[in-house]
């Protein structure tokens, strides 16, 4: 069947709902650390490496995606599931430093490459099928990435509790291989679309991109980076923040169990909501203005230790975090056109790679220096969101959308 749902939306969701489970790391990081005899800080670098390789493989894999989406979707499927199986085997048979190194390799590097290529692969295809609703199209796909955490977390906890951490990885690797391979088989560009092959496209490089529209790209990269960086500063410490502010209340157990699901849903809703709204706006950068203003407000209020604002703050930050991802491809296409969008989008995702290293580690440094005072984390986020808003205000709408 040749239609936009079967050939674009469904395969995109199958791929993104699989790879989005990278954000379930907090669900099993302590179990892995205990199993291999290491600390959560040391093993935590596996997650940072996964995000780093995600961003960098997307940045340098754009050319492969433009050339052959079927090759790239298959590569993503293989790398992601091999990374999961390798992680499970490592946990089952090794301890100490050798186990840590191999988890960095499998979960961080190999799985990270599968994440980056898989994240990028369906995006252009979606925008081609949904040519009049690019924001909705990318929102559908990237919503799957955000929703994956809410879906997978209870499944992971059940598998861990009943079969063990290694078996969890084996079972999930099997399920995700089936899902991603089905997405690989279904994914197809519109029948009439033919990739334009010319000298400029084949010689596409960073210099050519920056020469074409240097200032707009640099500014978009910066606001995208700051949004991810601030999001990771707060999102990766959700449980600790809730413990700190609600630890003396009887409802703490219920709050801790509900907050990850609530924020994961907000993340997914932000991805579909903000990108869809952008379709109705004259200039898609307006969505980022809304994101930054809302995040500035809640992070400022949270810095005053207003207990009633903490959970709404985490919800608003997750909404903006997800919306920043889903609105990015359509924003880039309005400035650079569709011809090289996979390469340009991939290059922009290098911001994700760097934010994956800096975001949660900056929070860790602030907490250690301040004696676990989260208000300094909130104040830092407030300042950075403000900087991002100022930069976003200087991005001018393109006079005409390139071909």
CA–CA separation, 231 vs 229, rounded Å?
A: 5
Same domain, 115 and 250: no
Evaluate whether residue 42 is within a structural domain: yes
Same domain, 48 and 103: yes
Q: Is residue 344 a contact partner of residue 127, using CB atoms and an 8 Å limit?
A: no
Residue whose pair of structure tokens reads 């790209």 in the numeric block: 217
CA–CA separation, 318 vs 313, rounded Å?
A: 9
Evaluate whether residue 401 is within a structural domain: no
- Residues of the domain holding 358: 205-396
CA–CA separation, 395 vs 386, rounded Å?
A: 15
Same domain, 182 and 209: no
Collapsed DSSP state (helix, strand, coil) of residue 394: coil
pTM, rounded to two decimals = 0.84
**What digits encode the pLDDT tens for the residues 190-249?**
887 766 665 454 455 666 655 667 789 999 999 999 999 999 999 888 878 887 887 656
Q: Among the three residues 129, 161, 187, which one is the final residue of a domain in this structure?
A: 187
Q: Among the three residues 128, 152, 187, which one is the final residue of a domain in this structure?
A: 187
Residue-level pLDDT, tens digit, the chain, 403 residues:
578 889 888 999 999 999 999 988 878 988 999 999 998 889 988 988 999 999 899 888 877 887 888 899 999 999 999 999 999 999 999 999 999 999 999 999 999 999 999 998 888 888 888 877 877 877 877 788 878 888 888 899 899 999 999 999 999 999 999 999 999 999 998 887 766 665 454 455 666 655 667 789 999 999 999 999 999 999 888 878 887 887 656 555 665 667 777 888 899 899 989 989 988 888 899 999 999 999 999 999 999 988 889 999 999 999 999 999 999 998 998 888 887 788 888 889 999 999 988 988 899 889 989 998 999 999 999 999 999 999 999 998 877 666 5
**What is the CATH number for 210?**
1.20.1250.20
Which of 160, 166, 161 has its CA nearest to residue 36?
Answer: 166
Same domain, 179 and 233: no
CA–CA separation, 63 vs 80, rounded Å?
A: 20
């Amino acid at each position: 069947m040749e239609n936009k749902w079967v050939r674009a939306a469904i395969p995109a969701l199958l791929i993104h709902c699989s790879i989005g489970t990278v954000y379930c790391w907090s669900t099993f990081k302590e179990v892995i650390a205990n199993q291999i005899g290491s600390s959560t800080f040391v093993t935590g670098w596996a997650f940072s490496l996964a995000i780093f390789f995600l961003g960098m493989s997307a940045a340098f894999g754009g050319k492969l995606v433009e050339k052959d989406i079927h090759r790239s979707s298959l590569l993503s499927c293989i790398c992601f599931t091999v990374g999961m199986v390798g992680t499970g085997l490592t946990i089952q048979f090794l301890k100490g430093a050798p186990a840590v190194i191999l988890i960095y390799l499998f979960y961080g590097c190999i799985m990270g490459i599968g994440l980056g290529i898989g994240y990028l692969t369906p995006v252009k295809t979606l925008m081609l099928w949904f040519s009049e609703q690019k924001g909705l199209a990318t929102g559908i796909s990237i919503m799957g990435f955000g929703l994956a955490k809410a879906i997978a977390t209870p499944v992971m906890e059940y598998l861990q509790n009943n079969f063990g951490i290694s078996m969890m990885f084996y079972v999930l690797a099997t399920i995700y291989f089936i899902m991603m391979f089905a997405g690989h088989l279904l994914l197809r560009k519109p029948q009439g679309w033919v990739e334009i092959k010319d000298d400029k496209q084949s010689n596409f490089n960073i210099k050519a991109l920056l020469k074409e529209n240097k200032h707009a790209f640099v500014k978009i990269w910066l606001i995208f980076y700051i949004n991810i960086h601030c999001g990771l500063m707060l999102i990766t410490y959700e449980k600790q923040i809730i413990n700190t502010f609600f630890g003396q209340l009887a409802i703490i157990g219920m709050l801790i169990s509900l907050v990850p699901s609530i924020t994961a849903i907000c993340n997914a809703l932000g991805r579909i909501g903000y990108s869809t709204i952008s379709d109705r706006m004259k200039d898609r950068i307006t969505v980022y203005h809304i994101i930054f203003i809302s995040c500035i407000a809640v992070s400022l209020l949270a810095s005053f230790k207003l207990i009633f604002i903490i959970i709404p703050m985490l919800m608003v930050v997750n909404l903006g975090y997800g919306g920043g991802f889903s609105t990015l491809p359509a924003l880039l296409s309005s400035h650079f056109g569709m011809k090289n969008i996979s390469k340009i989008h991939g290059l922009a995702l290098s911001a994700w790679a760097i934010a994956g290293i800096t975001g949660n580690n900056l929070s860790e440094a602030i907490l250690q220096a301040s004696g676990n005072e989260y208000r300094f984390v909130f104040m830092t986020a407030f300042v950075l969101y403000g900087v991002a808003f100022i930069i976003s205000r200087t991005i001018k709408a393109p006079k005409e959308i390139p071909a």
